[in-house]
Each structure stands twice: as C-alpha cells, then as structure tokens.
C-alpha cells in the first residue's frame, strides 16, 4: 500500500519517547510526518493542510473519565484539522472502548466537519515494545502491522486509496520539474544567479517583453505559470505508469453509478469553473448581458433569435421563462498574459436553470456550444454559447464589469477551438437539383 509521501502524516502523543519510534520507522520508508505533543503552546497557529493519516494517543491529559480525556483530544483535533481538509484516516492508540465511543459521539455532533473517513483502533503493544533499558522501540514488523491494518480497513473505502495515488503522483511530478530545472549547468558559475537568470527568461517567455522586471512578484508569477503545461504533461506520464496494488481489491465490475443532476452539476463545477475574480475581467469570465450595454441589438429580438437558433422548438417556451443573457470573455490567454490585447473578445450565450440533460434542450449545430450541467449557488444550470455572435468590447467599457463565474482553461480552449473552426469554415460552391 502507498502511504502519503508529502508530509501529510500527523502524530499526536504526549510522550515524545513513545512517538519517536513511529517517526523513525516512517522516515525509514521515506514517509515524512509532523509530530505534536498536544500542548496548546506547541500547536501551530495555522491548521495543517490536507492531513491524510493521523496517529492519535487518546490519553493526552491525566484527567480521569472518557468525557474529560476525549474533550482534551477534541480541542487538539480542532486546532490541527481544517474543515476543508478532505478525507483522512484516524489511527487511535487506546484500549478503552468508552473513549472511542465518546469520540465517535463528538464526530457525529460538534466535530462533524472534521470527521475522519475511517477510524482505526490499534493496540500500542502490537506495534511497540520496551527495550532493555525501558525505552520504547518499534517492533520488527511494527510498521508492517500498521500498514496491514490500514490496508485491511481501506479495502472498504477504496476511493481513499485512489486519492492517495493521485496526490503521490502530483508530488513526484513537481519533484521532477524542480530536479530537472535546478540541475541546469550552463550560465553563471553561481547556482543562485544561474537559477534567477533562468526564471527571468521563463517569465519573459510567458509574459513577453512587456514583463516589468522591476516588479519581482510579476516575474516570479509568470515564470511559475510557464511550468503549468509541463507539469500537466509529466503528471500524465506518471499516471500512465500507475502502479496499482491489485491486492487492494478495488473493482468497478457491475457498478452502475447513481448520479442525480445535483451530483453531476457539482462534479462539472469542480472540473470546469472557479470563483470569479473581483473587479477583474479575465479570459473565461462569465457575466450578465441583461443590461445589453455592449451589444447594439434589441433585447427581445436578440433573445428570440438565440432561442430560435439554439433551442429545440418544443423547449423554447420553457427556456424563455428562465433564461438569462450572458457573455463569455474568450480572449486567448497568451494575449492577456503578454498584454497584447486591445479589446475584450466576447461571445453571447444564455444560461438556463434546469436539471435536464443539455442535449435534450439545445439543438446540435456548428455554431452552438452547450456546456454540461453546472452547479451555481446550489442550483443546476446549463449554458449555451452562440459562436456566430462574436464581438469585441473596449477595455475601458469593462473596467467596472463584475463577472459571476469563471470557466477554467480546458473548457475555454475547447470553446476557442470550436469558435476558430466556425470562423474559418470555407464552404464550397455547388450546383444542386433544387
């Protein structure tokens, strides 16, 4: 089984001598970890990001009784784990079933936002032993015991294992980029100057000669943005080399996904949208065109025309009642990054609240681009853009325009590709029978 390779293992034990053998054993198999005694003065000011494996000694205080002991543990958990942490496995060191029951009660009430995906209970004696001088040490197969127990339990939640695989591959992909680029030999003899020259050239290659070298944050941002496409490519290579442990028992045979429109919309939102940037219109920004300040067409006629062009005839009245006119900023990202754009390039579309498959609403057409169902503020919508309604707006006109959504790069590139195909379609001259 693959344990987290990115320092997402946390150990909390009030006795450093008892925690140290586990830390050393994890280090021996290249698994970094973070250790805390549980003392309030030693806990970090900021919660630990993305914990995946949490070893916890339930006896952090000398107070008697399950409520008192678990209450102390709960305060530590709240200080360390964010509600946005994601899935994690909690490994408890205790023989007291009443402690576990009290902790489960809290996870189902006040601590529900940081409830673990799985809770395991291990006996310390099965992993540790006392040495000749009374010190704690890991047993010969101690880590193997932990791995086997975790693996046995995680067979019930195989999705967690898939997330671990992904995060480990992301870590290796970023390590490869840093290793490859930091090993460049040509240039100044001093490594730091050699790297700074490289980052400046990368920044210029991304942002163009307009890059202001007097502003270090701009150079750094542009240089790191140049890594993104390479990172995606390396991650794809890592994924193709995926080492899956067949013994883990994940099977998709005979599984039929149960997906309601809300779930579909939520998944698509995570794949294709992000929060709008305040007071800034960027490529991918979606905004309302209801005021029609930028389109010199009659509002009713425009909506009627778009409905006729994009929507099936029998659905027009239904869509008409709930539709909103929207615009999508579609300027190529390279023009924006290098500040070469003189105007904002836009396409017109409509947004419609529905839980129906978009293919049942919008007609197939070479100038229509319907999006999948997308969740916005708890409601599912689909959008459709009319590629024949391509226009531009001056920069000043958009300075105070607020977008309510931003489409991610992948879907924007796909729309740009379809738009380009639509614009350059040549057509042919022909003589027909009619």
Q: What is the mean pLDDT of the chain?
A: 84
Give bridge partners of residue 285 from the DSSP assignment: 406
* Residue 70, CA atoms < 13 Å, CB-side half-sphere: 19
Quick one: pLDDT band at residue 297, thresholds 50, 70, 90? low
* Residue 215 backbone dihedrals phi, psi, to 5 degrees: -115, 95
pLDDT digits (tens, 9 = 90+) for 40-86: 888 998 999 889 999 998 877 666 667 788 888 889 999 999 999 99
Tokens of 269: 């939102």
Q: How many CB atoms lie within 10 A of CB 86?
A: 14
Beta strands in 100-166 (DSSP E): 118-122, 128-130, 136-138
CB atoms within 10 A of CB 66: 17
Pairwise CA distance, residues 91 & 80, whole Å: 15
What is the mean predicted confidence (pLDDT) over 247-273? Answer: 86
Q: Give tens-digit pLDDT for 131-184.
A: 777 676 777 777 777 777 776 776 777 788 888 888 889 999 999 999 999 998
pLDDT of 98 above 70: yes
- Encoded tokens for 153: 């339990």
**Residue 294 pLDDT more than 60?**
no
Extended strands (E) in 47-171: 53-57, 89-93, 118-122, 128-130, 136-138
Q: Is 93 exposed, middle or buried (0-12, 13-18, 19+ CB in 10 A)?
A: buried
Structural domains for the chain:
9-157 (3.40.50), 184-248 (no CATH), 261-424 (no CATH)
CA distance 25 to 139: 10
Average pLDDT over residues 196-225: 88
Question: Nearest-CA neighbor of 330 among 403, 262, 409?
Answer: 409
Give the residue-averaged pLDDT of 396-417.
86
Distance of CA 234 to the CA centre of its chain: 18
What is the pLDDT at residue 100? 82
**Tokens 């325009």 found at:** 401
Given a cut of 80, whether residue 92 has pLDDT beyond it is yes
- DSSP classification of residue 433: -
Tens-digit pLDDT profile for residues 317-326: 989 888 899 9
Across 347-354, average pLDDT: 92
pLDDT score of 292 more than 60: no
Name the residue with tokens 């140049």.
226
Query: Residue 142 has what pLDDT?
Result: 78
Closest CA to 219 of 200, 206, 195, 205: 200
Can you say how many angstroms the Cα of residue 219 is from the centroid of all Cα atoms in its chain?
25
Q: Which residue(s) pair with 384 in the sheet?
A: 350, 370
Confidence of residue 2 (pLDDT cuts 50, 70, 90): low
For the segment 233-253, the average pLDDT, to the nearest whole number, is 80
Q: Quick check: 1 pLDDT over 60?
A: no
Following CA atoms 18, 23, 25, 26 in sequence, which dihedral angle do they give, to the nearest 10 degrees? Answer: 140
Phi, psi of 407 (to 5 degrees): -85, 140
What is the pLDDT averaged over residues 248-255?
Answer: 77
* Torsion on CA atoms 337, 338, 341, 347, rounded to nearest 10: -30
Residue 54 neighbours by CB under 8 Å, 6+ apart: 9, 10, 12, 81, 88, 89, 90, 91, 116
Q: What is the rounded distance in angstroms from the CA atom of residue 8 to the CA atom of residue 73?
A: 19
Question: Residue 369: what pLDDT?
Answer: 94
* pLDDT tens by residue, 21-31: 778 878 877 88
Confidence class of residue 272 from pLDDT cuts 50, 70 and 90? Answer: very high
CA dist 191 and 108 (Å) reads 53
Predicted pLDDT of residue 265: 93
Give me the pLDDT at residue 148, please: 75
pLDDT at 216: 92
CA 385 – CA 415 distance, rounded (Å): 9
Q: At 295, is the pLDDT very low, low, confident or very high (cuts 50, 70, 90)?
A: low
Block residue for tokens 């001598």: 17
pLDDT digits (tens, 9 = 90+) for 181-210: 999 887 778 899 999 999 999 998 888 777
Q: What is the pLDDT of residue 10?
A: 94
């Amino acid at each position: 089984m693959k344990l987290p390779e990115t320092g997402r293992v946390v150990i909390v034990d009030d006795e450093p001598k008892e925690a140290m053998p586990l830390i050393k054993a994890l280090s021996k198999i290249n698994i970094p970890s973070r250790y805390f005694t549980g003392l309030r003065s030693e806990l970090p000011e900021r919660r630990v990001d993305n914990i995946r494996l949490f070893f916890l000694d339930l006896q952090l205080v000398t107070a008697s009784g399950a409520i008192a002991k678990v209450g102390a543990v709960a305060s530590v958990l709240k200080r360390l784990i964010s509600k946005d942490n994601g899935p994690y496995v909690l490994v408890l060191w205790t023989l007291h079933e009443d402690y576990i029951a009290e902790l489960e009660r809290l996870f189902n009430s006040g601590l529900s936002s940081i409830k673990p995906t799985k809770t395991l209970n291990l006996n310390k004696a099965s992993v540790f032993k006392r040495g000749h001088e009374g010190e704690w040490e890991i047993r010969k197969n101690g880590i193997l015991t932990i791995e086997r127990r975790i693996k046995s339990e995680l067979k019930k939640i195989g999705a967690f294992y898939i997330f671990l695989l992904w995060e480990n591959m992301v870590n290796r992909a970023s390590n490869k980029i840093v290793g490859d680029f930091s090993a460049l030999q040509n240039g100044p003899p001093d490594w730091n100057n050699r790297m700074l020259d490289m980052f400046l050239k990368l920044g210029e290659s991304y942002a163009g000669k307009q890059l202001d070298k007097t502003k270090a944050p701009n150079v750094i941002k542009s240089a790191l943005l140049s890594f993104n496409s390479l990172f995606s490519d390396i991650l794809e290579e890592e994924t193709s080399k995926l080492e899956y442990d067949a013994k883990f028992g994940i099977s998709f045979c005979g599984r039929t996904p149960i997906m309601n429109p809300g779930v579909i919309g939520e998944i698509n939102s995570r794949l294709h949208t992000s929060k709008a940037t305040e007071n800034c219109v960027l490529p991918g920004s979606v905004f309302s065109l209801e005021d029609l300040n930028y389109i010199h067409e009659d509002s009713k006629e425009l909506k009627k025309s778009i409905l006729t062009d994009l929507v099936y005839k029998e659905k027009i009245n239904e869509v008409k009642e709930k539709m909103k006119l929207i615009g999508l900023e579609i300027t190529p990202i390279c023009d924006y990054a290098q500040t070469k754009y003189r105007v904002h390039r836009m396409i017109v579309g409509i947004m419609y609240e529905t839980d129906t498959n978009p293919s049942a609403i919008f007609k197939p057409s070479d100038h229509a681009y319907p999006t999948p169902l997308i969740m916005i503020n708890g409601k599912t919508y689909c959008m459709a853009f009319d590629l024949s309604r391509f226009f531009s707006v001056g920069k000043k006109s958009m300075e105070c325009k607020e977008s309510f959504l931003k489409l991610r790069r992948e879907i924007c590139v796909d729309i740009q590709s379809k738009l380009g195909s639509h614009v350059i379609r040549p057509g042919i001259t022909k003589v027909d029978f009619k």
